[in-house]
Chain A
Amino acid sequence: MDAASVAKTLHPLEVRILLKYDSGREIDARTVRDDLGYREGQENQAFSWLSGKRLIEETSRSVSVFYEITPLGSEYAEKGTPEERIFNLIGESGALRLPEVAEKLGLEQKSIGSAFGLLSKEAVLFMDEGKRAALKPGAALPLRVARLRALLDKAAAQAGTLEERSLDAEDLSVIQSVAKKRGAGDAPFRMAERERVVYRLSDATKDVRAALIALGMTGEEYGALTPAMLEKGSWKSGSFRPYNIGVSPARTIPGRKNPYVEFLESVKDKLVSLGFEEFDGNMVETEFWNSDALFMPQFHSARDIHDVYYIDDPKSAQYIEEPHLSNVAAAHENGGNTGSRGWSYQFDRDFTRRLILRSQGTVLSARQLPKAKIPGKYFGIARCFRYDKVDATHLSDFYQTEGIVLGEDVNLRTLLGFLEMFAVEVAGAKEVKYVPGYFPFTEPSVEVHIKHPVLGWFELGGSGIFRPEVTKSLGIDVPVLAWGIGIDRMALMALGLNDLRELFSPDLESVRMRRALTKTR
């Protein structure tokens, strides 16, 4: 970094140091505090930053002893030491018994006792015949007491601290006699050792200083812009300290939609834009709507106990709506009014009421047929339930996207047209291919395959034209195109995942950190 860039990253505490001292100059905390008025801590903060930028370097490190005034010492400084106060009291009021002294001065017996002891040893006080402390005529306070008094006053004037180096031998002997290193609660001074570190301003500070001057930075720049500054307009009289924009920003945790849900919503929006109206339905359905209405024979192998989930309570619906029940039953048994020969078996009207978990989204299409508009286009994204062992490619509940198109003129080619639209618009496919498929409820049936740039060809979905056994039983006389798209795989691609279970992840942090791609394709 050049000097100008470095200069812009400096904090005012650093700036003022660099402007104050020439390169090569040695400084320590005391110097900076005295010269620049830094509060304790600020100078060390500045030294740490400047060292980090190699603008100063440590040259020496030594331990100094300091005497710090304690709360007791502060009290002495204010009211006098016990010796002074006894001396003054007795001088004013004459001889007194020690308890009286303690009471008048508000001091403990113990400190009165030790102060009296000291003063009598120095032949200032004596105990008279009435057991009273009395002043020796003409006696003055001992020198020690006076010196302590002076030290207390001096310390109080210097923020409570006396450096050992600044004391002469006699002061030192006095202060050492009353200072304690630990447990200094009953002593006026606490002795403390502090490290003194000396730094030298490096040669580089010359250029940085020149850069600071050129930039007009004084270290007196404003920090935060405050409402008061705006109200008073005081911001006009100064400039703002530039920030270091290279610092990594702090993390913000936003409110967010779930990326998978966002993907599903994007598919819904796309289908709406293609003219489809959304439908919805029950998760618990009857065998009737789930399969019978779709002309899947009741003996069909996909209807075994191992393929759908049965509901325990209640086990069956109370009724199936007429005329649908009779029409569908007839279609199964002999074709009814549908032009079919049917499946030639006895339709089970109890079985058809049995409740199950919806196993295919097509149930929504069957439900929609009796109330559908012609022409009409409908779709739904439905949670479906399958009797599958849960693993990376199978879930016991998952979404299926299904829809129908009703119209006098729809046919196989319009079905292919729709499939092409889905492939291009919804899945972003570049290449599409159609092959004959098989579904029990459509004839003809078509599978649509698309080519993905990475995965290659895969099946996007299934479709077909509903069998007349399905549509006519539910009162529809026009062709109905039916389609389903497997969107799970598209979702994995869009979200950069490869395990279906991840779509429904309960792990908050992984959901928070999951970035949905901006495009669904």
Chain B
Amino acid sequence: MPKIEVNEKLFFSLLGDAPDAAALEAILPTAKAELDGWDADGANAEDRTIKIELNDTNRPDLWSTAGLARQLKTHRTKKVPSYPFFVPIGEKHSSSYTVEVEESVRRVRPYLAGFVAKGVAITDAMLRDMIQTQEKLTWNYGRKRRTVSIGLYRPSVIAWPVHYKGVDPDKASFVPLQETRDMTLRQILAEHPKGKEYSFILQNEAIHPLLVDDKHRVLSYPPIINSADLGAVLVGDRELFIEVTGSDYPSVALTASIMACDLSDMGFAIENVDVIYPYDTPFGRKITFPCYFQEGLKVRLGQVRKLLGLDMSLEEARDAAERMGSIASIEGDSIAVKPAEYRNDFLHPVDITEDVLIGIGMENFPPERPRDFTIGRLSPIEQFSRKAKLTLVGTGYQEMIYNYLGSGRDYIEKMGIPAADVVKITNPMSENFEYLRNSPLPGLLGTEAVSVKAPYPHRTFEVGKVAVKCVSENYGIATRQYIGFLNTHAQADYNESASHLATLMFYLGREYTVKEAQDPRFIQGRQAEVWSGGKRIGVFGEVHPSVLGAFGITMPAAGGELDLDALLEVPETAAK
């Protein structure tokens, strides 16, 4: 979830209101936002910031001061803002600025959008906000700059038209931001902090993207870094050229739209940029940005009423939809929505329905008790497990519960079992959580390792899931419900465990036989497999001293494990 910091003064001026914390918290839900912190007593009013968390990953327009203020203000005033500088896709338009795309960039990073903003001296708060928006949009929405990256420039020093092309990373060079020397693209990826951070995007590409002006001066090396000469924007500048490049055109175009609306809200005049391609794109070969590319959609009022459970008129539904920033109209029995320029999150008519809900306000939907009657029940394995637990508790056992992820040291080495038996994680966070357990016994033995001071005897058990390799399964791995039990004290032995097991099996109503077992975790000749209904359902015995030693346990222990899922399938013997 993106978190942003907004400058209080800029935010209030865009909002046209100055709410206190309680009032702000009351209206933030309309933007699926939460107040995360507000240093309302900060010394300098100019520098005070409000921290806000945004929950909707499909509404990147809300991740900026202007965007958030726009949504809150529109909801409050029900006045849809107007952005007349958008040019609908396919509409002919002639702009003062042009970017010419070359065929050479098509394979590596094919799409570009851009616009020019003029007329306001950029303040420190604005610049910081723009940089934050750029980061949030490219990191979260642009998937760490893979699908979207943004560059900011001073348009007046650029020789237009700008050219977007593919180059050889070992030949092209320029002076990047935060550097004073001329570096090849290859050097930038290897040595520049930003190059190292984002090299994963381009490292396997033979041709890299480059943005140059008509005098062959480098503007930037998308999506890595701007040039130090043409790619620096400073407080006090009154003009901006903003370009967005990436691999998914709707995302690229929407990012440009969001930034254009933000700057427009801050008082800038937005001027169009034409982008001309030698190849086909989803939006055509000549596109004017900011570009309106979204498609309208509609929803029948009946569907809205059914899903929300509230009666409302067409007019009420339309008004509610408009509070969320889109132009809505009534078409027969439906509400038609022309999505706001800065939104592209309408996939299905239910998305309009949610806008209607938020537009009306959640507080206006009284909760209603469900009317359908259904019978509740625990799963058969839960019922069976509870029976097993009750018997062991009555026999004097303490129930335990453990984490399922653990180390190879505990699950494999100490238990003396083959590594291939245990499910391994390819990308563990640490070696302490690298394997998914195949038995409850390491957990129970782990308890013994840390519980020497607890008065003996120790009788412990756990009912829980294990993962076992199983070639016949589609996944090759089966999840099973196991019960593991362990007796640890000076006289703990096979016979005691055998007796407890017999008690357990008696009350679970399952007949069983034992067979000699060869499990390395137990002492040879003092262990047995448990068979029931023709299946091997478990093993028990005296824990092998080498296993005890590996866990640092100096007290004899005996116990075992049973597959409760398998046992449940065995027919129950007739009750006596």
Give residues in A with beta carbon < 8 Å to B: 251, 253-258, 260-261, 265, 268-269, 271-286, 299-301, 305-306, 309-315, 317-319, 335, 338-345, 355, 357, 373, 375-377, 383, 385, 387-390, 395-397, 405, 407, 409-414, 416-421, 434-438, 440, 443-447, 465, 467-469, 479, 503-504, 506-509, 511-512
Contact = CB atoms under 8 A, between A and B. Distances in A.
Contact of B29 (A261, A311, A377, A435): A435
Contacts of B151: none
B465 interface: yes
A504 B354 contact: no
Interface in B374-418: 374-379, 381-382, 386, 389, 392-405
A327 B38 CA distance: 46
A506 B365 contact: no
B336 interface: no
Contact of B369 (A265, A280, A417, A479): A417
Given A282-B479, A413-B367, A508 B347 contact: no
A512 B398 contact: yes
B309 A411 contact: yes
B401 A260 contact: yes
Nearest to B445: A506
B375 A277 contact: yes
15 contacts: A253-B396, A282-B475, A286-B475, A311-B425, A312-B424, A357-B425, A377-B372, A412-B357, A413-B365, A434-B362, A435-B362, A436-B29, A438-B56, A444-B308, A504-B401
A131 B105 CA distance: 136
Contacts of B58: 438
Given A340-B348, A506-B400, A506-B443, A274 B451 contact: no
Contacts, number: 277
Contact of A409 (B349, B354, B371): B371
Contacts of B362: 434-436, 446
Nearest to A410: B370
Given A256-B393, A508-B460, 12 more contacts: A251-B455, A255-B459, A256-B399, A278-B382, A286-B475, A301-B140, A309-B427, A314-B475, A314-B476, A377-B374, A444-B350, A465-B307
A283 B403 contact: no
A508 B447 contact: yes
B55 interface: yes
A376 B405 CA distance: 33
Interface residues of B, number: 95
A280 B429 contact: no
B414 to A, nearest CB: 14
Interface string B279-291: 0000000000000
A412 B307 contact: yes
Contact of B389 (A257, A284, A507): A257
A508 B32 contact: no
B400 to A, nearest CB: 6
B32 A438 contact: yes
A268 B383 CA distance: 11
A261 B462 CA distance: 10
Interface string B290-333: 00000101000000001111100000000000000000000000
A361 B249 CA distance: 34
A396 B429 contact: yes
B348 A468 contact: yes
B250 interface: yes
B436 interface: yes
A396 B402 CA distance: 12
Contact of A310 (B366, B374, B426, B433): B426
B143 interface: yes
B458 interface: yes
B426 A407 contact: no
Residue of A388, A389, A412, A413 contacting most chain B CB atoms (<10 Å): A412
A469 B347 contact: yes
Contacts of A507: 447, 450-451, 454
A98 B121 CA distance: 136
